[in-house]
A and B are shown apart, each in its own frame.
Chain A
């Protein structure tokens, strides 16, 4: 360590002192102690050359039991259940079933008896089959005005549906909307319905007398 001995310029000793300190700092920077590396990773890095056993298989679990697999068509079941509640005897279903040759068809004159209000009769011009939502469209003429009414056949408000008169020939259309045209309009079917109701009343009387006379074609409930 060279000690400067300034005599003439006392402050110049600072320069050499500081230079010396700077060099020393650079020199001490390279002096390091032993440092053990610390890994912050969760996983240990394997030493090269070591055999690694890796499980490539991922565990999978079996699917739990599913009601959806057992009941693949819940809507069908649901509709069936609803119909069984609304139509316990199955008479209404039978009346509009496609397999029943005696079923009500388009073109027939139907009478719908309601729980509340007057019964409505008219020519059936459309049967919309939608399970529990099945409906029929009846057309009649009241006070010289054409009237059409939709009735849901399974509705609790519908007490009974009767076939008043059948069409002589099976209709070759699914929907007889042409009956709305003046050329084909059947007009009022009130007379036919009244005659039917009268004969029914008479028959009912005779049935009560005879006990077990022949019942009308129409089905109740």
Chain B
């Protein structure tokens, strides 16, 4: 028989129940499907040591890595929105060399908003050009313009910049003198839409012979691949008839020939995609050295002098 325990056991004053440790209390369910999303144990930090991937290069799939990759090609300052007015030519009076050129016009271009790394994940300047009657603008968008303190704009576009130094203050007007004569720019615009085009027009297929027994198949694309076995399917990306044109086309390294602030004109060398009247995004060329802007140099003149002395 078990020895008799002192009867004073029950006389021990227990502390209040909320002070008792949980393990002493009977088990009540705390985790379960009805209490939360998962019943799995909470995940701790993965062990940093003795990993299978040790020594392998770090995968660069983070937003930070993406920004770092783009760092080299992102322009330092914002671009401009312009309207293509048409093409003409310039002659050099000395050499007589004819230079075909495109005339672009800038219309009431202003900074409307900023995109920042902290809030949006990247740096960009939202620019608006033209003017739209407020009665044609929805109230949410009207509020967006009112917040920026600018009139409602016809066109809006974002121009990515490298860092916060490229963020021009909101409401600031930008004219054609933003670009220097002789500098290089990239132009982006939507090219002329061709509608639904066949293989001959869209991809330059040869078509089929006019005769030799050919019947009603002169401009069709013909076969779309081999048959039997592995060939008996159409490969993804097979060029076929479809919608042609109307997509954005970038023309890189276009030289700015003339800038007319009074008339709002930018005259660039060569052609720019799209019909007359289309909207063109103009920004510093990414494949050329960034332009040296006199006003910016003026601001950091002292710093430059000091570095030159040192």
Contacts and interface: CB of A to CB of B under 8 A. Distances in A.
B166 interface: no
Nearest to B173: A64
A63 B143 CA distance: 16
A197 interface: no
B26 A18 contact: yes
Contacts of A46: none
A34 interface: no
A25 B88 contact: no
Contacts of B105: 67-68, 71, 74
B220 to A, nearest CB: 34
A156 B18 contact: no
A77 B96 contact: no
Interface in B149-198: 149-152, 173
Contacts of A51: none
B88 A74 contact: no
Interface string A1-35: 00111110010010001101110110010000000
A75 B86 contact: yes
A152 to B, nearest CB: 7
Interface string A55-89: 00011111111111111001101110010011000
Contact of A10 (B9, B94, B103, B265): B9
B47 interface: no
B85 A21 contact: no
Contact of B264 (A4, A58, A61, A66): A66
A82 B88 contact: yes
A117 B240 CA distance: 51
Contact of B265 (A25, A28, A74, A85): A74
Q: How large is the interface on B (under 10, 10 to 19, 20 to 34, 35 or more residues)?
A: 35 or more
Nearest to B107: A68
Interface string B81-94: 00101101111111
A123 interface: no
A165 interface: no
Contacts, number: 123
A39 to B, nearest CB: 23
A3 B261 CA distance: 97
Nearest to A66: B108
Contacts of A86: 91, 93
Contacts of B306: none
Nearest to A77: B263
A7 B96 contact: no
A58 B89 CA distance: 46
Contact of A21 (B20, B152, B262): B20
Contacts of B273: none
Contacts of A28: 17-18
Contact of A133 (B7, B88, B151, B262): B88
Nearest to B28: A22
B63 interface: no
A80 B264 CA distance: 17
Interface in B116-152: 131, 134, 139, 142-143, 145-146, 149-152
Nearest to B16: A24
Interface in A102-143: 115, 131-133
Contact of B4 (A4, A7, A77, A131): A7
B48 interface: no
B18 A25 contact: yes
Interface string A149-189: 00010111100000000000000000000000000000000
Given A61-B150, A71-B264, A4 B10 contact: yes
B146 A156 contact: no
A64 to B, nearest CB: 5
Contact of A132 (B16, B88, B106): B88
A144 B154 CA distance: 61
Interface of A: 3-7, 10, 13, 17-18, 20-22, 24-25, 28, 58-71, 74-75, 77-79, 82, 85-86, 115, 131-133, 152, 154-157
Counting from the closest, the 4 A-B pairs by CB-CB distance are: A21-B17, A157-B96, A68-B107, A67-B264
Given A61-B151, A78-B88, A78-B103, 12 more contacts: A6-B9, A17-B14, A58-B146, A60-B146, A61-B146, A68-B106, A71-B105, A74-B105, A75-B103, A77-B263, A79-B88, A155-B91
